[in-house]
Amino acid sequence: MNFKVYVVSKKIEKFYLEAVAEYEKRLGRYCKIELVQVKNESALLKKLSDKSYMVKISSSREKLSSESLAEKIESYGLSSVSDISLVIGDVELECQERFCISPMDMDPGLEAAVLFEQIYRGYRIINGEPYHK
């Protein structure tokens, strides 16, 4: 499965990028995942692929537990969805799905780090591996 996490933000703090890099490394055995930073909505629209399954991460949509996210990841694979774009940031766009990783508003860099961690946790759950450290 291929994930692209698009973050619409002028700047992502170094410590968030370090956390994302750590989870990107850990996720390498389960999937391909990439962080793509764009500065605004028009730059985002140029980067998005119309072949990708589009998911908008929002603080006001369906709230997921770690287990629910794991089920969602597994269902993508079972339904032959292999290219997923996850969009973080203050943009409105057409998408197949919207969900929330936290009801709290967060810095986009922090939200990306949390999303990477939750995807990692989801794969650990799917594979029956321990995920609480």
3-state SS, the chain, equals CEEEEEEECCCCCHHHHHHHHHHHHHHCCCCEEEEEEECCHHHHHHHCCCCCEEEEEEEEEEECCHHHHHHHHHHHHHCCCCEEEEEECCCCCCCCEEEECCCCCCCHHHHHHHHHHHHHHHHHHHCCCCCCC
Q: Please give the pLDDT value at position 119.
A: 98
| Cα 93 to Cα 55: distance, rounded to the nearest angstrom | 10
Q: What is the pTM of this model?
A: 0.93
Q: Please give the pLDDT value at position 133.
A: 54
Q: Please give the pLDDT value at position 43.
A: 95
- pLDDT of the chain along its 133 residues, tens only? 999 999 999 999 999 999 999 999 999 999 999 999 999 999 999 999 889 999 999 877 678 899 999 999 999 999 989 999 999 998 988 999 998 988 888 999 999 999 999 999 999 999 999 876 5
Q: Which domains does the chain have, with CATH numbers?
A: 2-126 (3.40.1280.10)
Gap between the terminal Cα atoms of the chain:
25
Give the rounded distance of the alpha carbon of 12 from its chain centre: 15
